[in-house]
């Protein structure tokens, strides 16, 4: 259940794998160390629809805590695809961070402690590939600028406003910044390996920094100030796009996205006529508009 929504009733795109079925039914899933992309897609979809329902269909009964819970659940679903790194059992060099003792060669770190605001100890973890800081009081990302092996970074519901320190992280494939204080995506312009960007509930309006990130296959900018989707027209790998709760009115440019299979334009200014025209050009795309 996500904010009172039954995962089994949420409209996922495509069929569920056996692990997704286990997730929906509440049965234990097989333990896996590697990332299961289909599972992540299902969980994230559940969270996104939960958040959308909270902000739109039931907006009058929605609390800020529920919105934050939706964002945090979304971020945790992404981070849960890898196991948490423990201390080096051989007694090698370690650091202390977020109440944990971590080996300096740790590849995955997870911290959700609201009292944490200093991430400077992480500078030594040069092998780090996955980092989750959901719900912490972190605002300064400069200690991460040298972690060039980082692939997955989850910053949902933090105090982060400046993404500039992330510019050198060219190996980054997944970035979650939903519910932060970010207003400018320009520092992401050189992250050409980025595949998944979750940037909902931000005061962001300009998507042009994403124009050359041609590996992006999923973008969520729900409940932002985005009005112009033309910068996305060259993202030929884009398969999932959420624009719900934005002021977007013109979706005609999206007809160029031949791999688009899921589009959420709930609570936007898109007309029924434009929806029908887009569906005619992208018959394989599932469009959510109610």
How far apart are alpha carbons 45 and 131 in whole angstroms?
21
| 41 against 107, higher pLDDT | 107
User: How far is the CA of 256 from the CAs of 75, 124, 228, 252, 282, in angstroms?
Assistant: 30, 44, 15, 8, 9
pLDDT at 75: 56
**How many other CB atoms are there within 10 angstroms of residue 199's CB atom?**
25
Angle formed by the axes of helices 18-25 and 37-55, to 10°? Answer: 40
pTM assigned to the model: 0.74
pLDDT at 65: 54
How far apart are alpha carbons 168 and 179 in whole angstroms?
23
Q: How many residues does the chain have?
A: 290
pLDDT at 232: 98
In Å, the largest CA–CA distance within the chain is 65
pLDDT digits (tens, 9 = 90+) for 227-269: 999 999 999 999 999 999 999 999 999 999 999 999 999 999 9
Contact of 179 with 156, CB cutoff 8 Å: yes
| 13 against 237, higher pLDDT | 237
Average pLDDT of the chain?
A: 80
pLDDT at 137 > cutoff 90: yes
Query: Which value, to the nearest 10 degrees, does the dihedral of the CA atoms of residues 86, 107, 110, 163 take?
Result: 160
pLDDT digits (tens, 9 = 90+) for 46-93: 454 444 444 444 444 455 555 555 655 555 555 554 434 444 443 469
| 196 against 34, higher pLDDT | 196
- Domain 82-288 adopts which CATH fold? 3.80.10
Token pair 């996205």 is at which residue? Answer: 257
pLDDT at 289: 77
Query: What's the pLDDT band for 2 if we cut at 50, 70, 90?
Result: very low
Query: What's the pLDDT band for 7 if we cut at 50, 70, 90?
Result: very low
| 5 against 222, higher pLDDT | 222
pLDDT digits (tens, 9 = 90+) for 21-50: 333 333 444 444 434 444 444 444 445 444
| 288 against 71, higher pLDDT | 288
């Amino acid at each position: 259940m996500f904010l009172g929504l039954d995962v089994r009733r949420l409209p996922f795109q495509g069929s569920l794998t056996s692990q997704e079925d286990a997730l929906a039914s509440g049965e234990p899933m097989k333990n896996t160390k590697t990332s299961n992309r289909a599972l992540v897609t299902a969980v994230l979809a559940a969270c996104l629809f939960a958040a959308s329902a909270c902000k739109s269909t039931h907006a009058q009964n929605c609390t800020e805590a529920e919105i934050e819970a939706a964002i945090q659940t979304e971020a945790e679903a992404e981070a849960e695809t890898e196991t948490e790194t423990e201390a080096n059992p051989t007694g090698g060099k370690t650091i202390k961070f977020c109440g944990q003792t971590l080996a300096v060669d740790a590849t995955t770190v997870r911290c959700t402690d609201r009292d944490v605001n200093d991430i400077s100890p992480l500078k030594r973890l040069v092998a780090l590939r996955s980092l989750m800081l959901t719900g912490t009081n972190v605002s300064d990302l400069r200690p991460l600028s040298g972690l060039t092996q980082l692939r997955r970074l989850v910053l949902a519901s933090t105090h982060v406003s400046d993404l500039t320190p992330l510019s050198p992280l060219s190996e980054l494939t997944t970035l979650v910044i939903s519910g932060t204080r970010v207003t400018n995506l320009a520092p992401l312009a050189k992250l050409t390996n980025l595949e998944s960007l979750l940037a909902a509930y931000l005061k962001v309006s300009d998507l042009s920094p994403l124009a050359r990130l041609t590996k992006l296959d999923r973008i969520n900018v729900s409940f932002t100030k985005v009005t112009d989707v033309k910068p996305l027209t060259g993202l030929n790998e884009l398969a999932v796009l959420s624009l719900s709760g934005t002021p977007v009115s013109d979706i005609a440019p999206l007809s160029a996205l031949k791999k688009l299979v899921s589009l959420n334009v709930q609570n936007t200014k898109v007309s029924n006529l434009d929806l029908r025209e887009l569906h005619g050009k992208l018959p394989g795309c599932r469009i959510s508009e109610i």
